[in-house]
A and B are shown apart, each in its own frame.
Chain A
Amino acid sequence: MSEETTPTKTLDVCGKICPYPDMNTMTTLKKMTKGEVLEVLLDYPMSVERIPRNLKKQGHKLISVEQIDGPNHRMLIEAFGLK
């Protein structure tokens, strides 16, 4: 299912310290229009759990979280369209 989703935009927050992975994801999503898909590449375990938890509050939809290897994850999020 998620394999077929083509991201509109890719955000790489690997290596960043807390809370930049979350904040960068949230601010990027804010600038996207409804239905656009953001791909987030991240390697910070706390954010892998925290971003999905907080997406809903803004109305965004988590499509998938996929572990690439070790702490490296790929997340697909559908923007709610706050712009």
Chain B
Amino acid sequence: MTTAILTGLIVGIIFGFIMQRGRFCMNSAIRDTVLLQDYTLLKSVGIAILIEMFGFGLMNAAGWIEPSAKPLFGWANFVGSFIFGIGMVLAGGCASGITYRVGEGMMGALAAVIGLATTGTLTAMGFLKPIMVALRPAEATSPTLASVFGMEYWVLALIISIVAGAIWYFAARNKEDDALVVDSSASLNDRVFKKGWNWLVTGIGIGIIGMISLPISAAAGRNYPLGITAGWIQWVKVVILNTEGQAVNWIAAMVLGIVIGAFIAALIAGEFKFRFPKWGMIGQAFLGGLVMGFGAVTSGGCNVTHILSGIPLLSIGSFLAAISIALGAWATAYFMFVRPNK
């Protein structure tokens, strides 16, 4: 086992463990704002992004990392990510959400992952590739907020994360939050391994693993923090297509690690169970996965690549992708759930 596979697995296991304990899913985070007026998971995402931005800033200032943003693809970001947003609501989970839920034994999530890997591969190297190419500009640059303002990345990353964090703290400090009340009747062991984590603990956990994933992944020759879709595509290349010269790499090991980590967490919590929804729902999840795979590769990344990793890197393409994912998800949630129930 190479070092890249080992470190990928370890990062994935921790990431998967945290996601299972915190029920961390960006589909829910975004969708539930319109569906249930529930902002709990969105706050986890926000905390995670701020911690990563702060951490990347510090590590860049120290010279440990050289941040690399995803390219700005314009229409491909907008259209691809909008389609991805539609797909994740159909699938009942974002790219990371469906991945960790495979480890909980949810067969609907497995169907979605298979769909994502299928069209992801077909868009990266199959018959869907011309559509992606047509949507992308002939030449793409990778602007960031820092490069636009002519600043050093670390300066702006530290300023934004500290200012946003301070504003959030002062706005929220006097507000009561039921979700943060500690259940003192439960032992620490139960609070960690048996009960779901609150949004703050979850957000901090995700932020820390996202932050340390960058230097670890860079040491394996992949200078980018967490991602999902590329890992599943790599498994298709290695296992199913037997593509010459392709082997299990850091990101492939990482996504497998997520499934293992979530499986361990679910097993300890007693939450592992094979869950088979009706075939119609499995079909819907698979279709959602198919839609997500095309959208993710077209836009140059899924929700993890763009929202969890790209926003902390201040990538303009990722900001555009993040907005489009949210718009696609909100529109779909409205037509699927809000309107029919009016």
Beta-carbon nearest neighbor of B111 in chain A: A17
Judge whether A14 is part of the interface by a CB distance below 8 angstroms: yes
Is the Cβ of A19 less than 8 Å from the Cβ of B28? yes
In the bound assembly, the distance between CA atoms of A59 and B246 in angstroms comes to 56
Identify the closest chain B residue to A69 (Cβ). B270
Are B108 and A19 in contact, CB atoms less than 8 angstroms apart?
no
Contact for A14 among B38, B104, B109, B275, CB less than 8 A: B275
Q: Inside 8 A of A46's CB, which chain B residues have their CB?
A: 23, 25, 28, 196
- A27-60 residues with Cβ-Cβ distance < 8 A to B are 27, 30, 43-46, 49-50, 53-54, 57
Contacts of A72 on B, CB cut-off 8 Å?
273
Q: With CB as the reference atom, state the residue of chain B lying closest to A14.
A: B275
| Cross-chain contact A50 with B36 (CB below 8 angstroms) | yes
B106 at the interface (CB under 8 A from A): yes
Instruction: Identify which of A23, A43, A45 gathers the most chain B CB atoms within 10 Å of its CB.
Output: A45
B190 within 8 A of A: no
Nearest opposing residue in chain A for B89, CB measure = A19
Query: How far apart are the CA atoms of A72 and B273 in the complex, in Å?
Result: 9
The answer for the CA separation of A73 and B27 in the assembled complex, in Å, is 23
Residue B187 lies at the interface, judged by CB distance under 8 Å to chain A? no
**Cα–Cα distance between A69 and B37 once the two chains are bound (Å):** 30
* Interface residues in B, total, Cβ within 8 A: 36
Range, interface on chain A: 20 to 34
Closest-by-CB residue of A relative to B28 is A18
Asked if A43 and B273 make an inter-chain contact with CB atoms under 8 angstroms apart, the answer reads yes
Asked if A17 and B92 make an inter-chain contact with CB atoms under 8 angstroms apart, the answer reads: yes
| Complex: chain A residue closest to B284, CB-CB | A17
Binding site for A on B (CB under 8 A): 23, 25, 27-28, 31-32, 35-38, 40, 91-93, 97, 104, 106, 108-109, 178-179, 196, 269-273, 275-278, 281, 284-285, 337, 341
16 extra A-B contacts, CB within 8 A, seeds A18-B93, A19-B32: A15-B108, A15-B275, A17-B92, A17-B93, A17-B281, A18-B25, A18-B92, A19-B28, A22-B35, A22-B36, A26-B341, A43-B273, A45-B23, A45-B196, A57-B36, A70-B271
Closest 10 CB pairs of A and B: A17-B92, A46-B23, A17-B108, A18-B92, A71-B271, A15-B275, A15-B277, A70-B270, A54-B36, A49-B196
